[in-house]
Structure 1
Amino acid sequence: MNGMLSGSPPPERSLERLQALFDYNPEFPLDSEESVIEERGGIAIHDVRYNAATGRTFGAYLVMPPGAGRFAGIIYVHPGPGSRDTFLDEAVMLARRGAVSLLVDAPWTEKAVATWGRTVTNPQNAVREHILTVIGLRRGIDLLAARPEVDAARLGYVGHSFGALIGGVLSAVEMRVRAYVLMAGTGSFTDVAVLNLPDLAGEALERYRRTLARDEFFPREISREFFEAASEPKSMRWYDAGHYLSDEAREDRMAWLSTELSLHSE
């Protein structure tokens, strides 16, 4: 688990140039729709849909604590395969500590992963899709920050596997997020592609690697280098667990988020 605060990128990189890849129109209407679909002990689970860009809509759960207040806000992005259900139980537990969570269905959900995989096999399409995903998460942050119940100064991000990779990109362009937890991640889109796109091999793989490597925003090394690329303050923990980690990891990240976002104890 890699918990870190967002900060400035290394000086040799032009933040302004890289940020331009992920610019979006904040006035573009979110046109969000939501409805309560479940309650758990006073904690409301909303089904939400919002627009990220023309023709690109994201689905999510919004998990709301009971009562009024200025709650911390957390955005969750699942691994692949996975879905917004992946961290739902955890979001409910954190709601009891005073956090509103937005659990986004990323493009690599269990239901959509086959279609998404065919799209990102083409490296040019992959670049476009990854940029649109980051913009979609920024619009999700817009949605969270605009809610009167949410304290926009206490926002966090939790990403697992591909969600961690995307979170690494997000952390360099989205300074509204105070705390990032990136788990079992890598800094290379190609590493993820090799594991998840079996048709990507040989010359096609090399072309894919070359195309994505053109953008220095995406580091090419694995977990240790991914961690080293992050700004201070930061910390890393290793667990005796598989890719999907363990209950111990979950307890540690909830404790860390509670400290960083000033949540209360249960």
Structure 2
Amino acid sequence: MLDYERSLSLDFEESSYIEKDGYTVRDVSYLSPHGGKVPAYLVVPKTDGPFPAVVFMHPGQGNRTTFLAEAEALALKGIVSLLIAAPALRNDYPNDLSEEQMLNLMVETITNIGQYTQTVIDIQRGVDLLCSLENIDINRLAYIGHSLGATWGGVLAGVEERIKSYVLMAGFSSVSEWHKTSEHPLATLIRAKLSREQFNKFISELEPLDAIHYINKATPASLLFQFVHDDEFVPKHQADTFYSVASSPKEISWYKTDHLFTSCDSAYQERTKWIIKQLGLNNN
């Protein structure tokens, strides 16, 4: 389900760029094997390469700008960043939908299995893009994903050998279990909207993609898990399972904040320091 054709043209395009003090933010896109273009930001230092690189994937509540400030800070330390927009954000929806129509559309989007496999494959194509650039050190690649980005980053870690280090923030070890058991309003809405047959089909297609089937195959890549106490989405047992089944080397940290790590400077500082160390750079 996660195979993709690397021989396809990247069809890499740059639509605009912004010059900043020490780096450039480029608005780019590349071809998705599932069709259409993958919008992304490519943040490139102005110093000489070759550069290590980080791929970012935002939470479901975010977009490709979510980690932009973080990527800009990394650029000043000599790191390229690629910030990708998830497939669900690439659709143009009508503005005049009723609340009920919006809810139905949201449920349809969340239960679309194709978007999840596409997320993983589009990230792999992003790695292809980075590896095609002359100023990238392909032996020093890392990944940072949050929520949606961490859940599917856990799958990515089991199938993508070129990425050497992963930071996974508040991800699900088993998103299928969450859909079956969570009392979160979003989970209960989906169960209410789908017929039993539709829901069972969704779960049967989703279960093989749970991160627990992949994260144990991440070695030799290093893993840093960041979780939140009393997370409204990710229960502690899911976090514990994600870490316990993961291959080594691995580390885990817990924080007192919300699911989105709002104003959690300690989590930001820790993952930045960890990524810089993993990429073999000076933390100063």
Going from structure 1 to structure 2, the CA distance change for 1:227 and 1:64 (only over 3 Å counts) comes to same
2:29 corresponds in structure 1 to: 49
| One-letter amino acid of the structure 2 residue matched with residue 219 of structure 1 | I
Q: Post-superposition shift, 1:36?
A: 4.0
Superposed CA deviations along residues 200-223 of structure 1, whole A, max 9, x for unmatched, are 11535454334422x175439611
Q: Post-superposition shift, 1:64?
A: 0.4
| One-letter amino acid of the structure 1 residue matched with residue 275 of structure 2 | L
Structure 2 contact 26–43 (Cα < 8 Å) conserved: yes
Structure 1 contact 43–95 (Cα < 8 Å) conserved: yes
Partners of 1:262 and 1:186 in 2: CA distance: 29
* 2:74 corresponds to which of 89, 94, 106: 94
TM-score (norm 2): 0.77
2:206 corresponds in structure 1 to: 212
Residue 240 of structure 2 corresponds to residue 260 of structure 1: no
Partners of 2:255 and 2:90 in 1: CA distance: 25
Superposed CA deviations along residues 58-101 of structure 1, whole A, max 9, x for unmatched, are 10000000122111110000001101110000000011111100
List alignment gaps of at least 5 residues for structure 2: 94-101, 214-236
Q: Post-superposition shift, 1:172?
A: 0.2
Q: Post-superposition shift, 1:30?
A: 0.9
* 1:234 corresponds to which of 247, 250, 258: 250
Secondary structure at the counterpart of residue 259 of structure 2: coil
Query: Percent identity over the alignment?
Result: 37
Structure 1 stretch 201-210 or stretch 47-56: which is displaced more? 201-210
Structure 1 stretch 203-212 or stretch 93-102: which is displaced more? 203-212
* 2:170 corresponds to which of 184, 196, 203: 184
1:16 corresponds in structure 2 to: none
Q: Post-superposition shift, 1:40?
A: 2.2
Residue 121 of structure 2 corresponds to residue 135 of structure 1: yes
Structure 1 contact 81–109 (Cα < 8 Å) conserved: no
Secondary structure at the counterpart of residue 257 of structure 2: coil
Superposed CA deviations along residues 94-152 of structure 1, whole A, max 9, x for unmatched, are 1111110000011244977965642342xxx41x2211211111000000111111100
* 2:139 corresponds to which of 153, 156, 159: 153
* 1:81 corresponds to which of 42, 46, 61: 61
Secondary structure at the counterpart of residue 177 of structure 1: coil
1:119 corresponds in structure 2 to: 109
Partners of 1:31 and 1:110 in 2: CA distance: 17
| One-letter amino acid of the structure 1 residue matched with residue 249 of structure 2 | P
**C-alpha root-mean-square deviation of aligned residues, in Å?**
2.4
List alignment gaps of at least 5 residues for structure 1: 1-20
Residue 161 of structure 2 corresponds to residue 175 of structure 1: yes
Structure 2 contact 51–136 (Cα < 8 Å) conserved: yes
Structure 1 contact 186–226 (Cα < 8 Å) conserved: yes
| One-letter amino acid of the structure 2 residue matched with residue 262 of structure 1 | G
Structure 2 contact 273–283 (Cα < 8 Å) conserved: no
Going from structure 1 to structure 2, the CA distance change for 1:216 and 1:35 (only over 3 Å counts) comes to closer
Structure 1 contact 65–100 (Cα < 8 Å) conserved: yes
How many residues are treated as equivalent by the alignment?
Answer: 241
Structure 1 contact 83–110 (Cα < 8 Å) conserved: no
Q: Which of 1 and 2 has higher RCO (CA within 8 Å, sep 6+)?
A: 1
Structure 2 contact 174–210 (Cα < 8 Å) conserved: no
1:3 corresponds in structure 2 to: none
Residue 51 of structure 2 corresponds to residue 71 of structure 1: yes
Q: Post-superposition shift, 1:171?
A: 0.2
TM-score (norm 1): 0.82
| One-letter amino acid of the structure 2 residue matched with residue 77 of structure 1 | M
Structure 1 contact 80–110 (Cα < 8 Å) conserved: no
Q: Name which one, 1 or 2, has greater alpha-carbon Rg.
A: 2
* 2:8 corresponds to which of 20, 25, 28: 28
Partners of 1:192 and 1:247 in 2: CA distance: 31
Partners of 1:102 and 1:75 in 2: CA distance: 5
Partners of 1:110 and 1:59 in 2: CA distance: 8
